[in-house]
Amino acid sequence: MFRRAVTLCLLGAISLWGADDRYFTAFWNVENLFDTVDDPRTNDEEFTPTGKSEWSIDRLNTKYQ
């Protein structure tokens, strides 16, 4: 068991030794991402085809891209 732990530690150290110091972070803010179907449990009436913004499937697909 001790031999396995030492081997894993050595492998981890070797893999970190050759790693680059570059980091990449990405996220997608989906807080304001609505579909076109009215859900009575949420406040999304503005983003339906009959709502104030007249949100359509085409506009939704454009936002997804």
pLDDT in tens, 17-43: 665 667 777 877 776 677 778 888 888
Tell me what pLDDT residue 32 has.
67
Tell me what pLDDT residue 18 has.
64
Residues 45-50, mean pLDDT to the nearest whole number: 82
Confidence of residue 45 (pLDDT cuts 50, 70, 90): confident
The backbone torsions φ and ψ at residue 6, rounded to the nearest 5 degrees and listed phi first, read -65, -40
Question: What average pLDDT is seen over the chain?
Answer: 77
Q: Check residues 45 and 15 and name the one with the higher pLDDT.
A: 45
d(C-alpha 58, C-alpha 8), whole Å: 52
d(C-alpha 2, C-alpha 38), whole Å: 59
Please give the sequence-ordered ranges of beta strands (E in DSSP) within 1-65, or none if there are none. Answer: none
Give the position of tokens 């999304």.
44
